[in-house]
Amino acid sequence: MDRRKSIQTIILGAGASALAFHGCKTDGTDTAKEALAAAENTHYFGRTPEELELIEKLNAEQLFTEHEMETIAVLSTIILPPREPNGGPIEAEVPEFIEFMGKDIPELQLTLKGGLMWLDHKSNADFGTEFKLATLDQQKQILDTICYHDIDKPLDVQPLEIQFFYLMRGLTVCGYYSSKVGVAELGYKGNTPNVWDGVPEDVLEQHGVAYDPEWVAKCIDHSTRNEIATWDEKGNLLT
């Protein structure tokens, strides 16, 4: 299961209603044909040709306006402030991730679009300006009214603005910590070599067996014990 499918499973729990939006195409760096060719020659993170075609299609669509994307950028950095030295949601391209997930899961679009509209309406009513232009203190005052939900009621029957913040918080955190920036922030390095010298000699003797010296030389190489494997950007093992 790739990142997109994993996060679909998590986010659909928000229970948002459906509303489809269609956008215009923009120029991409890779064509679908080039992506498919790359997939045929490499594992490409396990994506199938059908998944690559869908990703190409979604990347060519536009869900949010420029204003909405700027609002998402501001909101995501309030939810998860930037961290040194790796950066925050902007460096991790969280706003772009949120737009992609909104296109990939149309059921989320009403909540996302409606919530962004609510933020501006509330900010204009309370402070006479758009949410993205309000001061940080004003923005937090607004968010304090929607950042908690009633745990005794199903989320999908609570006000849209409550659903919106719950969804945005989940998308922001998922998008950040599933990105290269977020993984670096966690300091996660994946599985690393451990020390294993084979079955202890006394145990081998108890069972009347022994290692083939040629096998030991191939499988227990102390000189490479601390080497960490590296991959290229398409997932090919380099060393």
| Weakest mean pLDDT among 27-41, 109-123, 201-215 | 27-41
* pLDDT tens per residue across span 160-212: 999 999 999 999 999 999 999 999 998 887 776 666 677 888 999 999 999 88
* pLDDT tens per residue across span 64-89: 999 999 999 999 999 999 988 999 99
What the block records as the tokens of 209 is: 């067996």
- Cβ atoms 204, 210 nearer than 8 A: yes
What pLDDT shows up at residue 224? Answer: 67
Mean local confidence (pLDDT), 124-129: 97
* pTM assigned to the model: 0.65
Mean predicted lDDT score pLDDT of the chain? 81
The answer for residues whose C-beta is within 8 angstroms of residue 166's C-beta and 6 or more apart is 14, 149, 155
